[in-house]
Amino acid sequence: MELTALSQIAIVLVEPAGALNVGSIARVMANMGLYRLVLVNPQCDHLGDEARQMAVHAAEILENAQCVDSLPSALQGCQRVVATAGRDRSFPTHFEHPREVLPWLLEVPSALVFGREDRGLSNEELNYAQRFLRIPSSPNYASLNLAQSVAVCAYELYDTVVRAEADSPNLPPETNDPEATADAIEAYYRDFEKLLLDIGYLYPHTAKARMEKFRRLYNRVRLSQTEVAMLRGLVRQMEWAISQTSSKSH
């Protein structure tokens, strides 16, 4: 069965170190109808014998995997981004159950981001996501293997789509203004931060922490393409007005 609702979801692995893990992930992706694998600065050979051995009949996913050098590059074109974190992660936001947040990734270009086997995602990397996921597990042994984490999420996505298609096979496509892509939002953040530095609202030594708060604010809104274009236009106009005022004062 071809599950088109899953076709635009990318599984993003940040600096995976284990070829066996990557191969296992490729296999479970194929099991659950996911085919887009993106590797950020991989620390293993995803095309080697170990990965292929675990992938079994999913070697095509390994061969078609996209390798990039940074998380922003991996998220280009994505409108929705969910990041995962373990129980020991300290981050000032709400972590959701997989069943609550994963359906939000369906139908549009999206990414589900997993961190390193030994330490997960940094707080800076978590900032690139709009929503955050934590897989519940026993407090007696809370840590999940990377491939196991992907398997749990892949199953939840597959099950959501299968049940939705069974209940509503002929739902019309969404016609609303599409959500902004991750790279478009990042471009706005850069413009916005520069403006705030120029007017003295931000200071270089506190800009990062303050911008994280703005990110959380905008992530709750889930900006559309039109809204991001409007905000970037507003920033550009304000920069122009500042430059005009500055030139007149001289």
Residue 116 CA to residue 42 CA, distance in Å, equals 10
182-249 and 4-167 share a CATH fold: no
Residue 44 has pLDDT above 70, yes or no: yes
Specify the pLDDT at position 249: 65
pLDDT tens per residue across span 128-137: 999 999 999 8
Residue 141 has pLDDT above 70, yes or no: yes
Name the residue ranges covered by the structural domains of the chain: 4-167, 182-249
Residue 208 CA to residue 189 CA, distance in Å, equals 11
Which tokens hold the place of 203? 């200071």
Give the architecture (CATH level 2) of 4-167. 3-Layer(aba) Sandwich (3.40)
Q: Which residues pair with 133 in a beta bridge?
A: 84, 96
Residue 165 CA to residue 103 CA, distance in Å, equals 13
Residue 170: which pLDDT band, with cuts at 50, 70 and 90? low
pLDDT tens per residue across span 80-133: 999 998 765 566 678 899 999 999 999 899 999 999 998 899 989 999 999 999
C-alpha torsion angle, residues 111, 70, 94, 7 (rounded to 10): 0
Which tokens hold the place of 215? 């990110």
Assess contact for 25 and 147: CB atoms under 8 A: yes
pLDDT tens per residue across span 53-78: 999 999 999 999 999 999 999 999 99
Task: Decide yes or no: CATH 1.10.8.590 for domain 182-249.
Answer: yes
Average pLDDT over residues 219-239: 87
At 200 the three-state DSSP class reads coil
Specify the pLDDT at position 90: 62
Assess contact for 63 and 113: CB atoms under 8 A: no
Which tokens hold the place of 9? 């979801």
Residue 45 CA to residue 56 CA, distance in Å, equals 16
Residue 163: which pLDDT band, with cuts at 50, 70 and 90? confident
Q: What is the DSSP string of 103-132?
A: GGGTTSSEEEEE-BTTTB--HHHHTT-SEE
Residue 240 has pLDDT above 50, yes or no: yes
Specify the pLDDT at position 149: 95
Strands 131-133 and 36-40: unpaired
Residue 148 CA to residue 191 CA, distance in Å, equals 39
Residue 140: which pLDDT band, with cuts at 50, 70 and 90? confident
Average pLDDT over residues 193-205: 91
Specify the pLDDT at position 100: 93
Q: Look at 194 and 173; give whichever has higher pLDDT.
A: 194
User: How many Cβ atoms sit within 10 Å of the Cβ of residue 132?
Assistant: 21
Question: Which percentage of the chain shows pLDDT scores above 90?
Answer: 58
Average pLDDT, the chain: 88
How many alpha carbons lie under 13 Å from residue 181 in its C-beta half-sphere? 12
Specify the pLDDT at position 245: 77
CA R_g for the chain: 20
Residue 162: which pLDDT band, with cuts at 50, 70 and 90? confident
Average pLDDT over residues 150-161: 94
Is the Cα torsion angle 40, 28, 8, 112 positive or negative in sign? negative
Edge-to-edge strand ranges of the sheet holding 80-84: 66-68, 36-40, 9-14, 110-114, 80-84, 131-133
Residue 218 has pLDDT above 50, yes or no: yes
